[in-house]
Amino acid sequence: MSNLSAAPDKLPRHVAIIMDGNGRWAKKNKLQIAFGHRSGVETLRGIVRESSDIGIHSLSVFAFSTENWTRPDEEVRALMLLIEEFFNSQIDELHRENVIIRILGDRDNLPDGPRKAAERAELRTCDNSGLHLNIALNYGGRADIIHAAALISCSVQKGDLSLSQITEDLFSDFLSTRGLPDVDLLIRTGGEMRLSNFLLYQSAYAEFVSTNALWPEFTVEDYRNALGQFMSRDRRFGRRDHSGRNSEGEKNA
Ligand code: FPP
């Protein structure tokens, strides 16, 4: 097990997770898909606790994408119910754990039940000071960027902002993750190597860890392992190292 507490300054500040593999896990265990998602919620709970314990600043998880509406109605209904249940049943404990909940994505098109439960959770935890837990619901990274661009255009039109003030940092302040650090580590379970439209702008310099573990079987140990991998990587953000070579020994771009 990697010793994470030995170098707390090397921990990622912002971890994002694409929780993939619930469906395959359910199939493997001859269960209905809704049980896969339900089991995924259990995994999420453990990872949130661990993130708080370790001292991670922000954890963002992809719970429902703008593309997920195309899934069979029964699965979408099951997911919405699960999301509502999650907020209603976990809110007391998350609040006790000092977690700050934020919803990322277009909440207006969510059914009333999950939307209201999520908004109650946001309101209840907004004055906490612990882990920032961002739950992406009806979220798309491109939509996040377009929304920011529209808000900025509006401010420019009104004369509140000038073109020369538009910098990368300012742009970040108009995204759904405003005020939070960029994603340092992006974990994807289920073996795929795609970003799937998650936190596109925020992940520009994220380190990527993909694991074959399906989300319901992803353990706290696997999580610590991913954090350990992140901590052992050399992040240069496009700069040269001292030898002018990258980590593969090739001339750096
Ligand atoms: C991908 O697995 C996962 C999802 C589309 C939903 C993730 C949701 C949860 C973990 C539970 C709900 C979350 C909260 C916050 C209550 P998949 O079904 O695409 O897996 P597959 O690729 O094996 O089919």
pLDDT digits (tens, 9 = 90+) for 146-176: 999 999 999 999 999 999 999 999 999 999 9
- Is the separation of the CB atoms in 22 and 215 below 8 Å? yes
Mutating to test ligand 1, I would choose from 18, 22, 44 the residue with most ligand atoms within 8 A of its C-beta, which is 22
CA gap 205, 214 in Å, rounded: 25
Residues with CB under 6 A from ligand 1: 19-24, 37, 40-41, 44, 63, 68, 82-83, 86, 135, 190, 215
- The residue to mutate among 37, 192, 215, having the most atoms of ligand 1 within 8 angstroms of its beta carbon, is 37
Q: What six digits make up the tokens of 141?
A: 């990274």
User: What is the C-alpha separation between 83 and 223, in angstroms, rounded?
Assistant: 22
Q: Is 113 exposed, middle or buried (0-12, 13-18, 19+ CB in 10 A)?
A: middle
Query: Is the model's pLDDT at 223 over the cut of 80?
Result: yes
Q: What mean pLDDT is reported for the chain?
A: 94
| SS3 assignment for 11-69 | CCCEEEEECCCHHHHHHHCCCCHHHHHHHHHHHHHHHHHHHHHHCCCEEEEEEEECCHH
pLDDT higher than 50, residue 27: yes
Catalytic residue among 3, 9, 53, 68: 68
Q: Is the pLDDT of residue 252 over 50?
A: no
Share of the chain above pLDDT 70, in %: 94
Q: How far is the CA of 74 from the centre of ligand 1 (A)?
A: 14
In the residue annotation, 20 being an active-site residue is answered as yes
What integer pLDDT is reported at residue 8 of this predicted model? 84
Query: Does the annotation mark 68 as catalytic?
Result: yes
pLDDT digits (tens, 9 = 90+) for 32-74: 999 999 999 999 999 999 999 999 999 999 999 999 999 999 9
- Write the residue with the smallest CA distance to atom 16 of ligand 1: 83
Alpha-carbon span 195 to 187, nearest angstrom: 10
Residue 249's pLDDT band (cuts 50, 70, 90) = very low
What's the pLDDT band for 247 if we cut at 50, 70, 90?
very low
Residue for token digits 């994603």?
A: 183
Q: What pLDDT, in 10s, does the model give residues 94-134?
A: 999 999 999 999 999 999 999 999 999 999 999 999 999 99
